[in-house]
Structure 1
Amino acid sequence: MATGWAGDGAVQDQIDATVKDAIQRARSRMARGPGLSRCEECDAPIPEARRKAVPGVRLCVACQEAEDAEEGSHGGYNRRGSKDSQLR
């Protein structure tokens, strides 16, 4: 099957690279070390249950939700460059 300039497994290679990048990005954002008893942003107390559930926690729930929303607003880039994904 003719695929133009791309090799036979090029699409799967791009998918695998995207997944690998996402995993590395998620691991780099994970907190390490002991968790805090107070939020580093607003100084609110972090409940014991949250500290046990999320090792290395540094933010209260409200501040974590705000940070997650801010990170989610940044769009990723399109590796494939397909016309369909560029139209969205």
Structure 2
Amino acid sequence: MADSMDLVQQRVEEELARNLANAKQHPTGASEFFCLSCDAVIPEARRRALPGVSVCVTCKEVSELKSAHYKGAAL
């Protein structure tokens, strides 16, 4: 009989497998050199870290804050 720790470990492994599968399915293309929202230069480090990136950090943060606001999340 499985105890609670076994069940937790199983759920963690399942979630990890799901996240890996989603990451593998995410289409990546060439990264943009300039932000599509504000035309700011996207640093090389960001382009290397996130293949297919199209917006700068600032625009991404604004987008995430707006998304959280519209979903009713408390910050």
Q: How does the TM-score come out when normalised to structure 2?
A: 0.57
Q: Which residue of 1 aligns with 2:60?
A: 64
Structure of higher CA gyration radius? 1
CA distance in 1 between counterparts of 2:28 and 2:67 reads 19
Could you tell me whether the CA contact under 8 Å between 1:35 and 1:57 is conserved in 2? yes
Q: Which runs of 5+ in 2 are unaligned?
A: 1-14
Counterpart of 2:37?
Answer: 41
Q: CA offsets per residue over residues 59-88 of structure 1, 9 Å max, x none? A: 001101000111111227xxxxxxxxxxxx
Please provide the CA RMSD for this pair: 2.6
Cα 1:44–1:55, aligned 2, differ >3 Å: closer, same or farther? same
Instruction: State how many pairs are aligned.
Output: 51
Provide structure 1 residue ranges, at least 5 long, that are not aligned to the other structure: 1-18, 77-88
In structure 2, the partner of 1:16 is: none
* 1:1-88 equivalences in 2 (<5 Å): 32-75=28-71
Structure 1 residues 31 and 59 mapped into 2: Cα distance closer, same or farther (>3 Å)? farther
Q: Which runs of 4+ in 1 moved over 6 A?
A: none
Distance 1:61 1:34 in 2: 17
Task: Give TM-score scaled by structure 1 length.
Answer: 0.49
Q: Name whichever structure is richer in helix by fraction.
A: 2
1:52 and 1:36 map into 2 onto residues whose CA distance is: 11
Give percent identity, aligned residues only. Answer: 39
